[in-house]
Amino acid sequence: MKKAIERVDFPNTINSIIDDLKEIGVKEGMTIIVHSSLSSIGWVNGGEVAVIQALMEVITEEGNLVMPTQSALLSDPSGWERPPVPKEWWQPIRDTMPAFHPAYTPTYAMGKIPETFRNFPGVIRSNHPEVSFAAWGKDKETIIKEHSLEFGLGENSPLAELYKLDCFVLLLGVGYGNNTSFHLSEYRIPYREIVSKGNPIFIEGERVWKTYREIETREELFEEIGREFESNFEVSINKIGLAESRLFSFKQGVDFAEKWLKEYDEKHN
């Protein structure tokens, strides 16, 4: 905390975060998906709660606030790399890993803001064991309700619902590598590498280990896609607290990434 305090000349507050959000272009009634880093903002009076309250106050319930609430720890241990576990552990882990539940399964490596947001009054969370989303606002039920286990970031996911809305992406102190919406583009190109995934879920109240199909994602390309997108489309760039942040059209970003990935695959395949 001492280092966070030393980085700012004056405390960030709900009111200052509200002013910064408005300055970058966030408005009442907007639908926004937020990817965030609390530490990048600098010291905030009230921390992650203040940031969430500021977002809600600006957007209001006439809009929608969405955050990814992924839980990557609920996955097949055969794919774990940071750190890997011994092969003889794999089956015992699959047999005993607690099933996903939207009410109490924590996020993993998503940061303090989405972990706190998922517990806020009025927020609901989708029922995907690994790539869930949480939503608040007038269209939250529509955004969240149809989330397919198979191909969980594709056409039957909250991302596809956000594409239909006039949605914006807010990268709050993070880069394009965190931009989950680019995953939707990956499902819309001819290139596919199908992989098998597994998670513990509840089916009719019983815990089961469920395997299903998914595509191999390529997050390592997202920063490059984002840089080229930014040189071709309007992106509002400003600071929220100390955090360099970006606000841009969800649909424009997905459409551009789809075109970019098709051209990339034509060159490399």
Q: Kindly indicate the confidence band of residue 5, based on its pLDDT and cuts at 50, 70 and 90.
A: low
Note whether 110 and 40 are within 8 A (CB).
no
Mean pLDDT of 74-103: 94
Tell me the per-residue pLDDT of 134-153, one tens digit each, with 9 for 90 and over.
Answer: 999 999 999 999 899 999 99
Mean pLDDT of 98-124: 96
d(CA 264, CA 170): 26
Tell me the per-residue pLDDT of 45-82, one tens digit each, with 9 for 90 and over.
Answer: 999 999 999 999 999 999 999 999 999 989 999 989 88
d(CA 127, CA 147): 7
DSSP state of 7: T
